[in-house]
């Protein structure tokens, strides 16, 4: 919750039109900047 910033009230932006294919929202859960860290954590 903390790492993804899910306590910020931004969900109204995606509630009406969704978020797939939109680059204007900069949603934390769409970021891939931690891919290497997560792969290492699961042994990949």
Q: What is the pLDDT along the chain (44 residues), one digit of tens a residue?
A: 787 777 877 777 777 776 677 777 777 777 788 889 989 999 99
- pTM for this prediction: 0.41
Output the pLDDT for position 14.
74
Output the pLDDT for position 19.
67
User: CA 6, CA 9: separation in Å to the nearest integer?
Assistant: 8
Q: How many CB atoms lie within 10 A of CB 10?
A: 14
User: CA 35, CA 41: separation in Å to the nearest integer?
Assistant: 10
**4 contacts: CB under 8 Å, gap ≥ 6:** 28, 29
């Amino acid at each position: 919750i903390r790492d993804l910033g899910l306590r910020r009230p931004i969900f109204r932006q995606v509630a009406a039109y969704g978020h797939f294919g939109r680059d204007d929202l900069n949603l934390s859960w769409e970021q891939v900047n931690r891919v290497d860290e997560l792969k290492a954590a699961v042994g990949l």
